Structure 1
Amino acid sequence: MSTTEPTSDGHLLGAADIRALAEAFGVKPTKQRGQNFVIDGNTVRRIVRAAGVTDEDAVVEVGPGLGSLTLALLEVARHVTAVEIDPVLARHLPDTVRGRMPAKADSFDLVLSDAMEVTELPGPAPTALVANLPYNVAVPVLLHMLEHFPSIERTLVMVQSEVADRLAAKPGNKVYGVPSVKANWYADVKRAGAIGRNVFWPAPNVDSGLVSLVRRDPPATTATRREVFAVVDAAFAQRRKTLRAALAGWAGSPAAAEEALRGAGIDHTLRGEMLTVEQFAAIAEHKPKTTEEH
Structure 2
Amino acid sequence: MRALARRLVVRPTKRLGQNFVHDANTVRRIVRLAELGPEDVVLEIGPGLGSLTLALLPVAAAVLAVEIDPVLAGALPDTVAERAPTLAGRLSVHAGDALRLRPGDVAAGREPTAVVANLPYNVGVPVLLHVLEQLPSVRTGLVMIQSEVVDRLAAPPGGREYGAPSAKLAWYAEARRAGPVPRSVFWPVPGVDSALLAVRRRAQPATTASRERVFAVVDAAFAQRRKTLRGALAGLAGSPSAAEQLLRAAGVDPNTRAERLSIEDFARIAAAESH
TM-score by length of 1: 0.91
Q: Distance in 2 between matches of 1:88 and 1:19?
A: 15
Superimposed CA distance per residue, residues 2-22 of structure 1 (whole angstroms, 9 cap, x where no aligned partner): xxxxxxxxxxxxxxxx11111
The Cα RMSD (Å) is: 0.9
**Aligned with 1:255 (options 232, 241, 264):** 241
Provide Cα deviations, 1:23-56, integer angstroms capped at 9, x if missing partner.
1110100111111100111100110111111111
Residue 136 (structure 2) pairs with residue 150 (structure 1): yes
Out of 104, 110, 122, the residue aligned to residue 107 of structure 2 is 122
**Counterpart selection for 2:221 from 210, 235, 238:** 235
The CA deviation at 1:235 is: 0.4
Equivalent residue, structure 2, for 1:57 = 40
Identity %: 61
Divergent runs of 4+, >4 A? none
CA contact (8 A) 1:125 1:151 kept: yes
Number of residue pairs the alignment of both structures matches: 272
SS of structure 2 residue aligned to 1:218: coil
> What is the one-letter code of the residue matched to 1:96?
T
Whichever residue aligns with residue 229 of structure 2, its letter is: L
Question: Which of 89, 92, 111 pairs up with 1:109?
Answer: 92
Structure 1: unaligned runs, 5 residues or longer: 1-17, 290-294
CA distance in 1, matches of 2:224, 2:87: 50
Q: By how many angstroms is 1:288 displaced?
A: 5.9
**Partner deviation per Cα, 1:102-148 (whole Å, 9 max, x = no partner):** 11111100000000111021140000000000000000000000000
1:32 aligns with 2:25: no
Cα distance in structure 1, aligned partners of 2:249 and 2:54: 52
* Aligned AA (2:57): L
> Secondary structure in 1 aligned to 2:161?
coil
Partner-residue secondary structure (3-state), 2:99: helix
- Residue 74 of structure 1 corresponds to 57
Contact between 2:66 and 2:95, CA under 8 Å: does it hold in 1?
yes
For 1:84 and 1:232, how far apart are their aligned partners in 2? 31
Q: Deviations over 1:135-184 (max 9, x none)?
A: 00000000000000000000110000011011001111111101100001
SS at 1:135's partner residue?
A: coil
> Is the Cα contact below 8 Å between 1:257 and 1:287 reproduced in 2?
no
Whether the 8 Å contact between 2:209 and 2:274 is mirrored in structure 1 is no
Cα pair 2:173 2:200 within 8 Å, conserved: yes
* CA distance in structure 2 between the partners assigned to 1:98 and 1:280 by the alignment: 49
Structure 2 spans left out of the alignment, 5+ residues? none
Distance 2:274 2:148 in 1: 37
Structure 1 counterpart SS, 2:178: strand
Question: Counterpart in 2 of 1:215?
Answer: 201
Assess if the C-alpha contact under 8 Å between 1:115 and 1:141 holds in 2. Answer: yes
